[in-house]
Amino acid sequence: VFDVLIVGGGPAGAAAAIYTARKGIRTGVIADRFGGQVLDTLSIENFISVKETDGQKFAVALEQHVKEYDVDIMNTQRASKIVPGKIKEVHTESGAVLRAKSVIISTGARWREINVPGEKEYRNHGVAYCPHCDGPLFKGKRVAVIGGGNSGVEAAIDLAGIVEHVTLIEFGAELRADAVLQRKLATLRNVKVIKSAQTSEIHGDGKKVNGLSYTDRESGQSHRVDLEGVFVQIGLVPNTEWLKGTIELSKHGEIEVDAKGQTSETGIFAAGDVTTVPYKQIVIAVGEGAKAALGSFDYLIRSSAD
Ligand code: FAD
C-alpha cells in the first residue's frame, strides 16, 4: 500500500512526488506519458528562473529530479477507475489494482483540436494553443485566433498588444464571449472579426505556417488569409473521463478542489490543469502539485492518529 499514489506524471505530478517523497513516505506515480504536455512543447520561456528551455529537456529534467528520490514510477500505465475509501484503489487499463492511503490526481488536460489539414503538420511551427506561452514568438507578425468564446476573445485581446494583426474566426453567427470582453475587443484597431466562418485548412511552406483558409458558412465561398500564426482556442479538455461518477467535477469536467487541493472525496487530492484552478501553466501546475502533496501529508498525519 502506497502512502501517496500520484496519478499523472506532468509538472503537477512530478512536483507532488518530490514533495511527498521528501517527507519520507511511500510514494508512487502512475503516468500514461511521464512529462505530460511539455513533451509537445517546443520552447518554454516562462518557467521562472529558467530563461529558456525546450519541452523535451524540461520533461527529462522533471524525471531526473523525481528519480533523485525513492519514488516508484509506473510509466505508460493508464488509470481507468478510482475507488474511494480509507484505502483508495486505482485500477489501471492493464488490469492492475494499486492501493494507497491517499491519492493525488494530476492527469492534466488536452487542447481541443480543429482537425483540419495543416494543424498537426504545423503544430509548434505556427500552430499554437497557448497565448500566454507562445504569444511573444509572434511579435510583429499576423495571426489568427480560432474560436470566439471567452478564451478566444481573451487571446485576441492579449495578442493584439503583441502582434501586428489578429483575425478572430468564429464558427457561429455571433461571438460567445462575455459582453465586457466583446466591448474591449471592439476597441482594438488591429483586430478583425470574421463570423460564420469554418476554418478549412492551415497552409504552410513545408516549414512554417503562411496562411489559413475558411469557408463563409452563409455564402459557401472560400477565402484565404495570409498570416504567420494560428492560435486554436476552442477549449481545453480535462482528462477526467475516468473519474465521472466518483469525484465532483465542474460543468467543464474539471475536478473541484479546495485551497489545499482536496477533492470531494476525503484523502483524494488533485492538482494542475485537471482542476478548476484557473490559468493553465507549468509554473502554476508545479505550485499546485506541491500544495496537494502537503495537503495529502497533512491528511495522512491526521488520519493515522485516529
Ligand atoms: P499535464 O502536463 O497534462 O500532465 C498530465 C499527466 O497525466 C501526463 O503524464 C499524462 O500522461 C497523465 N495522464 C493523463 N491521463 C491519465 C490516466 N488516465 N492515467 C494515468 N496518467 C494519465 N505552459 C507554460 O507554462 N509555458 C509554456 O511555454 C507552455 N507551452 C505549452 C505548449 C503546448 C503545445 C501545450 C500543449 C501546453 C503548453 N503549456 C505551457 C501548458 C503546460 O504544458 C501545462 O499547463 C502543464 O503541462 C500542466 O501540467 P499538469 O501536470 O497539470 O498536466
Question: 3-state DSSP call for residue 177?
Answer: coil
What pLDDT score was predicted for residue 182?
A: 97
The pLDDT tens digits of the residues spanning 87-112 come to 999 999 999 999 999 999 999 999 99
Residue nearest to atom 52 of ligand 1 (CA): 272
Decide whether any atom of ligand 1 lies within 6 Å of the 272 Cβ.
yes
DSSP 196: S
Nearest CA to ligand 1 atom 30: 133
* CA 280 – ligand 1 centroid, Å: 9
Quote the cell numbers at residue 260: 489545499
- Cβ 303 vs Cβ 6: under 8 Å: no
Measured CA distances, 196 to 115, 174, 176, 220 (Å) = 18, 8, 12, 10
pLDDT tens profile 29-42: 999 999 999 998 88
Cα–Cα distance, 24 to 290 (Å, whole number): 15
Strands (E), 32-122: 43-44, 53-54, 71-75, 79-83, 88-92, 97-105, 109-111
3-state secondary structure (DSSP) of residue 230: strand
267: left (phi over 0), alpha (psi -120 to 50) or beta: left
Nearest residue CA, atom 23 of ligand 1? Answer: 281
Q: 25, 297 in Cβ contact below 8 A?
A: yes
Q: In 10 A of CB 28, how many CB atoms?
A: 22
Q: How far apart are the C-alpha atoms of 45 and 30, rounded to whole Å?
A: 28
Per-residue pLDDT tens digits for 211-225:
999 999 999 999 999
pLDDT of residue 42: 83
Task: Ligand 1, residue 34: give the atom nearest the CA.
Answer: 9
Ligand 1 and 7: CB distance under 6 A: yes
Is 132 within 8 Å of 236 (Cβ atoms)? no
Nearest atom in ligand 1 to 241's CA:
18
- Widest CA span of the chain, in angstroms? 70
Three-state DSSP state, 253: coil
Looking at ligand 1, which atom is closest to the CA of residue 30?
Answer: 20
Q: What percent of the chain has pLDDT over 90?
A: 98
Percent of the chain surpassing pLDDT 70:
99
Q: Check pLDDT > 80 for residue 8.
A: yes
Distance 179 CA to ligand 1 centre (A): 31
pLDDT at 306 over 80: no
Of 282, 284, 286, 291, the residue with max ligand 1 atoms within 8 A of its CB, to mutate for a pocket test, comes to: 282
Residues 6+ positions from 137 with CB-CB distance below 8 Å: 43, 128, 229
293 CA to centre of own chain = 20
Protein residue whose Cα sits closest to atom 32 of ligand 1 = 41
- CA–centroid distance, 277 to ligand 1, in Å, is 14
**Angle formed at CA 52 by CA 46 and CA 56, multiple of 5 degrees:** 100
| Cell (9 digits) for 116 | 483540419
